[in-house]
Amino acid sequence: MQLEDFQISVFLRLSFYELSEERSKELGDKLIQVLSKLLHAVEKERYRNMDELIEELQGLNLELEEEREQKEIDALRIAHKSYQNCIYDHKNFLDVFYSKLNEALPAKESIQVEENRNLRLHYALEYLFKSIVKLENSLHILEASASIFQVQHSDFTIGEYDEFLKVLLECVEQYDADWDEHTKAAWQDLTDRIYEAMEEMFGGVSA
């Protein structure tokens, strides 16, 4: 493989993490410099030993992990702001949500009980956003999700939890005036992690 082809391959792989073009190029260039030094034609220009090479690669890996962590934090903030847009700009948002959920899941007792239903769900969703420090922390996601699915709607089956999230996203997309591709991606990140966490705990949710 020619160096130019290898560079393109590296940049494509980095694009999987949805880095900015500038940051992707910066990290890609660093990796190419490491590999160029490793394979240098002049022996004295190569790494002196494996420890030196490993140290360089670990530094790059740390930078990438920091980028991934920041992306997760940003996704949570975007999704949280999106939910707040719906709540604060449309006072009937949760009523609309439950009306649509009732159409999708008729005769579910926990949906029919209206006393403090919206307030409980609002606090449960706020807890979901604020308690998840990282999207990769499945324990936090499980604990936060349990406040919705085991306390608020304990009569739901696993498949109905899936429907709950789908209807919520449909309503958010409809009512969030700032909805765009970044918002969609942020919610997708969040719900994907919820699905994964619930699969660990309950043995499967249809995605």
CA distance 95 to 117: 9
**Run of H or E including 55:** helix 50-89
CA distance 200 to 207: 14
Give the global pTM. 0.63
> Which is higher by pLDDT, 108 or 184?
184
Its sign, for the CA torsion 101, 105, 110, 114, is positive
Give residue 29's pLDDT: 82
pLDDT tens-digit readout, 73-90: 677 888 999 999 999 999
Give residue 93's pLDDT: 95
pLDDT-derived band of residue 17, with 50, 70 and 90 as boundaries? low
> Which is higher by pLDDT, 91 or 57?
91
Residue with tokens 């660990």: 200
Mean pLDDT of 16-42: 76
**Mean pLDDT in the chain?**
78
Its sign, for the CA torsion 159, 164, 167, 169, is negative
In this predicted structure, the answer to whether residue 167 has a pLDDT above a threshold of 90 is: yes
pLDDT tens-digit readout, 94-124: 999 999 999 998 878 888 777 788 888 888 8
Most confident of 15-19, 37-41, 77-81, 172-176: 172-176
